[in-house]
A and B are shown apart, each in its own frame.
Chain A
Amino acid sequence: MNPLELLAIILLLPLASAGIICLFLRRGGYWASAVSVVAALGIMVLSFVFLLRWDGQTISGSIPWLQLGQDYSFELGFLFNHEAATMLAVVAFIGFWIHVFSVGYMDDDKDKGRFFGGLSIFMFSMLGIVLSDNLFMVFVFWELVGFSSYMLIAHYWDQDYAAAAAKKAFIVNRVGDFGFLVGIAWAYHYYGTADISAITAQIQSGQSGVVTGIGLCLMCGFIGKSAQFPLQVWLTDAMAGPTPVSALIHAATMVAAGIYFMVRVFFLLSPFALEWILWSGAIMTAFAGFCALGQTDIKKSLAYSTLAHLGYMATAIGLGFPGLAIMHMAMHACFKATLFLCSGSLIHACHHEQNMFKMGGLWKKMPVTFIAFFVATLSISAVPFTAGYYSKDTIIASAWGKFAAGHGDAYAWAFGLTMLGALLTALYMGRMLFVVFFGKPNSEKASHAHESSPWMTAPLVVLGWVLSLGAGWFVYNWGWADGVMNGLIPADVAQFMVDGYSHAAGGWEAAHHLFEQSGAHWVEWLSIGCIVAGFLFTFFFYGRGPSQDRLQAKAPGLYHVLERHGWFDDVYDFYVTHIQQRFADFIAFLDTALIGGLVVRGTGAVAGLVGMVSRSLHVGSIHGYVYWFIAGVLLFGAFALGLLR
């Protein structure tokens, strides 16, 4: 079996599963979940078989799909390289465990068939994005993940807010995808091909240059899918979907697909585009961190945290270290999936109560969830030697390193904003941890909570206890541990997991090296200080597990701003209802009056008039016929004789 065939099997397995579920198991209940989970297990096993046998060479191959004339051809193909390896490992592994979790979480749901069918469709589309070798194919799968996201957010379709959230996610993504499509068309026109490796080759050989516009247009797609500024409004609403969906799609994989795509087309990004991404990411890091402090809904707070961390990844790309972005994506997938799954476990235990101030004191009742949540909290706050530390602190430090190397003031800003983001991370995660698990239960539901079923706790153990803690240990040491931690993970596994970071241009090592050169070790201490300060502060502020937010009591004005997400939604609402609606009314008026009235009905009216006139000729009077006949003959004769010219 050659590698391409194996990749094709990996890609088509979830499609087959989705087909079986959608065609035969719509009402299948547990059978549907069984098919989907088995497919996910198959993906994971095959992916790891593939990765362990992979020799590190780029694999690509394509078949012609559409041939338009001589010059235009669209192809279907795979391009498998280092960043794809890391992404494949993340999607397959985390996808499987979230499938397992879903079995437990959705046990009381009526529509298991639809849900698991949607999960399989999502896995198919996500793997498609990971493996595609040309922009068109990426776009097709891009839209497919958008569709799966839409379908799964609206899983509770009978709730108005879920249906509205699904529509919002879809429509906001349309805005980004428009730019994306323009970028693809532009790239295709400019480079004469949409094949990623072919474009890379062209640029590297100096045959054609990098166009800033193309990079910015493709970035639009990333901004939509990764919910970066200014299209960040959909992600928090997307939390209306079931929690496993929030974990899989809106934290670990789909929103990171934007980052992954940016890494894939990194060679297309000009310095200007990179600076744009840097600013957008760094600002998002701080902004979303603030907003996370103002949420009472545990999932919305986590969604803002996701936005902040996507901002970190964008910052890494903007710094010019795509490998670092891939690494943070992988680490983030581990701990953020854990956090979401923990919140799912909590929500399930508290009978679908999502307000964290209605929980409290749960650490005794739900020890497994608590430990997983605690570890993931440490990891996301980048406590040294947890997974998040290796990527997040490297991003912050390399921003400083870039500035110290004299690349410009923008990097100092990026450093400041990401450092602020780190402090905010500690604040909102500490707040969540203390409010949910400490003190005493603040509601009837929370006092009856008990630990979830093994279906749900097993993924928490794997993703939380193990990976959130140790996913970063295969990265070489930073400071203390001198690579000791590497021994904990088998060398060949470490190999492909580390591939995406070090081989991709400007990976973790490059970033780390840059930071080492600047010699500013106070940066590490500063970030650790931020974490400690954040946790201490939140412990004193929220340590008793209060039943309402003390920030709201102390500073209602500030809290209100945070709660309203900085009024972004209101601004967009105003724009849509007032400006866009007016404009649409105007266009509609033009359409009905000018086009409908004048052009369409006008042409019809001309025919009608001619009909009216000619109808009056044909009233059955023979004399009338003769008159006209003779008039015609005379006219014709006059022409023939040349009397009329």
Chain B
Amino acid sequence: MSGVGLNAYLFVAGLLFALGFFGVLLRRNTLVIYMCMELMLNAVNLALVAFSRYNQTMDGNLFVFFIITVAAAEVAVGLAIIVALYRKRRTVQVEELNALSN
């Protein structure tokens, strides 16, 4: 671990997570929100790998594989839902997807 230490990795991971976090909160396009969620996932992955490396164990890597697998499945399902929504409502803007209110 020369040069780049654990803290740097964690800093980048936190940055990425914050980026994704505020993206989810502030953007209105469903697809962008969705991409931001993936960003948060990847931030966590990065942090896990960094810890794994730091602790000299394979636990973190194992976790990451699982997360990637689940995320892939999630993308398949989530995107399908978004596409179906778009076909039905002709929009992907969240504030217009309010059929359940009132």
* Residues of the A chain whose Cβ atoms lie less than 8 Å from the Cβ of B24: 626, 630
Interface membership of B25, Cβ < 8 A? yes
Q: How far is the CB of B76 from chain A (nearest CB, A)?
A: 21
In chain B, positions 51-102 with a C-beta closer than 8 Å to chain A are: 94-95, 97-102
* Residues of the A chain whose Cβ atoms lie less than 8 Å from the Cβ of B25: 623, 626-627, 630
Type the 1/0 row for A611-635, where 1 means its CB is closer than 8 Å to any CB of B.
Answer: 0000000111111001100100000
Count, chain B residues at interface, CB 8 A: 12
Contact flag A622-B102 (CB < 8 Å), given A627-B25, A630-B21: no
Q: Which residue of B lies closest to A634 (CB)?
A: B21
The reply to whether B101 and A621 contact each other, CB–CB distance below 8 Å, is yes
In the complex, A619→B101 CA distance in Å?
A: 5
Q: How far is the CB of B92 from chain A (nearest CB, A)?
A: 11
The reply to whether A619 and B102 contact each other, CB–CB distance below 8 Å, is yes
Type the 1/0 row for A543-574, where 1 means its CB is closer than 8 Å to any CB of B.
Answer: 00000000000000000000000000000000
Please pick, from B21, B94, B102, the residue contacting A623 in the complex, using a CB distance under 8 A. Answer: B94
* Residues of the A chain whose Cβ atoms lie less than 8 Å from the Cβ of B101: 618-621
* Residues of the B chain whose Cβ atoms lie less than 8 Å from the Cβ of A621: 94-95, 98, 101
In the complex, A620→B102 CA distance in Å?
A: 8
Q: Which residue of B lies closest to A623 (CB)?
A: B94
Q: Which residue of A lies closest to B27 (CB)?
A: A623
Q: Which residue of B lies closest to A620 (CB)?
A: B101
Q: How far is the CB of A628 from chain B (nearest CB, A)?
A: 11
In the complex, A630→B101 CA distance in Å?
A: 21
Q: How far is the CB of B2 from chain A (nearest CB, A)?
A: 31
In chain A, positions 46-102 with a C-beta closer than 8 Å to chain B are: none
* Residues of the A chain whose Cβ atoms lie less than 8 Å from the Cβ of B98: 619-622
Q: How far is the CB of B21 from chain A (nearest CB, A)?
A: 7
Count, chain A residues at interface, CB 8 A: 9
- Interface majority SS (helix, strand, loop, mixed), chain A: helix
Type the 1/0 row for A183-206, where 1 means its CB is closer than 8 Å to any CB of B.
Answer: 000000000000000000000000
Q: How far is the CB of A326 from chain B (nearest CB, A)?
A: 82
In the complex, A618→B102 CA distance in Å?
A: 9
Contact flag A620-B99 (CB < 8 Å), given A627-B25, A630-B21, A630-B25: yes
In the complex, A622→B25 CA distance in Å?
A: 10
Q: Which residue of B lies closest to A619 (CB)?
A: B101
In the complex, A620→B97 CA distance in Å?
A: 8
The reply to whether B21 and A622 contact each other, CB–CB distance below 8 Å, is no
In the complex, A619→B100 CA distance in Å?
A: 7
* Residues of the B chain whose Cβ atoms lie less than 8 Å from the Cβ of A627: 25
* Residues of the B chain whose Cβ atoms lie less than 8 Å from the Cβ of A626: 24-25
Contact flag A622-B99 (CB < 8 Å), given A630-B21, A630-B25: no
In the complex, A619→B28 CA distance in Å?
A: 17
Q: Which residue of B lies closest to A627 (CB)?
A: B25
In the complex, A108→B28 CA distance in Å?
A: 92
In the complex, A439→B97 CA distance in Å?
A: 105
Type the 1/0 row for A594-619, where 1 means its CB is closer than 8 Å to any CB of B.
Answer: 00000000000000000000000011
Q: How far is the CB of A10 from chain B (nearest CB, A)?
A: 75
* Residues of the A chain whose Cβ atoms lie less than 8 Å from the Cβ of B99: 620
Q: How far is the CB of A627 from chain B (nearest CB, A)?
A: 7
* Residues of the B chain whose Cβ atoms lie less than 8 Å from the Cβ of A622: 94-95, 97-98
The reply to whether B21 and A620 contact each other, CB–CB distance below 8 Å, is no
Q: How far is the CB of A482 from chain B (nearest CB, A)?
A: 106
In the complex, A622→B28 CA distance in Å?
A: 9
* Residues of the A chain whose Cβ atoms lie less than 8 Å from the Cβ of B100: 620
Q: How far is the CB of A611 from chain B (nearest CB, A)?
A: 15
* Residues of the A chain whose Cβ atoms lie less than 8 Å from the Cβ of B94: 621-623
Q: How far is the CB of B25 from chain A (nearest CB, A)?
A: 6
Q: Which residue of A lies closest to B100 (CB)?
A: A620
In the complex, A621→B25 CA distance in Å?
A: 12
Q: How far is the CB of B102 from chain A (nearest CB, A)?
A: 7
In the complex, A488→B94 CA distance in Å?
A: 112
Q: How far is the CB of B8 from chain A (nearest CB, A)?
A: 22
In the complex, A626→B101 CA distance in Å?
A: 15
In the complex, A618→B98 CA distance in Å?
A: 10
In chain B, positions 1-57 with a C-beta closer than 8 Å to chain A are: 21, 24-25, 28
* Residues of the B chain whose Cβ atoms lie less than 8 Å from the Cβ of A618: 101
Chosen A-B contacts, 14 in total, with CB atoms closer than 8 Å, are: A619-B98, A619-B101, A619-B102, A620-B97, A620-B98, A620-B102, A621-B94, A621-B98, A621-B101, A622-B94, A622-B95, A623-B25, A626-B25, A627-B25
Q: A619-B102, A621-B94, A621-B95 are in contact. List 17 more A-B contacts (CB 8 A).
A: A619-B98, A619-B101, A620-B99, A620-B101, A620-B102, A621-B98, A621-B101, A622-B94, A622-B98, A623-B28, A623-B94, A623-B95, A626-B24, A626-B25, A630-B21, A630-B24, A630-B25
Give me the 8 closest cross-chain CB pairs, A-B, nearest first.
A620-B101, A620-B98, A622-B94, A619-B101, A620-B100, A626-B24, A626-B25, A623-B94
Residues of chain A having any CB pair with chain B under 8 Å: 618-623, 626-627, 630
